[in-house]
Structure 1
Amino acid sequence: MSLSQTAFLLATLTAGGGTMGYIRTGSIPSVAAGCTVGALYALGGYRIQQKQQYGVELALLASVVLAGSSIPRAIKTQKTLPIGLSLLAGFGLWTFGTAMSEGKNKVL
């Protein structure tokens, strides 16, 4: 799976998850956070796909934001949703962090 496809997948999962959180509980913070993080992933994926600068960095930023909000909740509550979000964030951190360290963020 390419970096752009990974970013688009994470965008779909986070935005979809935020929307589902709103539908199930009426939580406006869930939809706002999910769609914001999803938009960062989507923009990063688009920029990676178009070989523009800062695509990998945007996707990595989305992962940092997601990790920063979900990991403390996962540790505190031990609930399934924050743990799942933490796993998504960890996957994004690993994928886009590795891409940055290998220099795949350079525009060709």
Structure 2
Amino acid sequence: MSVDWVGYGYAALIASGGVVGYVKAGSVPSLAAGLLFGGLAGFGAYQVSNDPNNVWVSLATSAALTGIMGKRFYGSRKFIPAGLIAGTSLLMVAKLSLALLQKPQES
């Protein structure tokens, strides 16, 4: 069993970003979204750690964050936090997609 350290790091980045948004700006929506998406990413990393073919929760979470934060970055042009999260989410989508394509599928 291989631990998905990249996935857990990504989950920690998302959750900590929500906490920082709350501490710096008092943004409850940032806290809620950060903890929700961070929790989903952590659960996805747990699933990938147990079965490398089970990438669907991680893939859906990172794809959703790529779209949401990518749109926010496009509108604001501020790298922190929207650009950072959109970029790391896009890298996670690429990592998970490659892992999915490289693994032989069991029928």
Report how far residue 52 of structure 1 moved.
7.6
1:3–1:99 distance in 2 versus 1, CA, 3 Å: farther
Q: Which amino acid letter does the alignment assign opposite residue 86 of structure 1?
A: A
Alignment of 1:56-95 (within 5 A): 56-81=55-80, 82-95=82-95
Distance 1:21 1:3 in 2: 29
Alignment of 1:1-108 (within 5 A): 4-51=4-51, 54=54, 56-81=55-80, 82-103=82-103
Report how far residue 103 of structure 1 moved.
2.5
Distance 1:33 1:102 in 2: 32
Report how far residue 6 of structure 1 moved.
1.1
Q: Contact conserved, 1:4 with 1:44, CA < 8 A, in 2?
A: no
Consecutive unaligned residues of structure 2, counting only runs of 5 or more, are: none
Name the count of aligned residue pairs. 104
Report how far residue 3 of structure 1 moved.
6.8
Q: Which amino acid letter does the alignment assign opposite residue 27 of structure 2?
A: S
Distance 1:53 1:73 in 2: 31
Distance 1:31 1:97 in 2: 28
Consecutive unaligned residues of structure 1, counting only runs of 5 or more, are: none
Deviations 1:66-88 (A, max 9, x none): 11210011111100221111111
Report how far residue 62 of structure 1 moved.
1.1
Report how far residue 23 of structure 1 moved.
0.7
State the superposition RMSD in angstroms. 2.0
Distance 1:19 1:97 in 2: 29
Q: Which amino acid letter does the alignment assign opposite residue 42 of structure 1?
A: G
Q: Contact conserved, 2:18 with 2:33, CA < 8 A, in 1?
A: yes
Distance 1:7 1:76 in 2: 27
Normalising by structure 2, we get a TM-score of 0.86
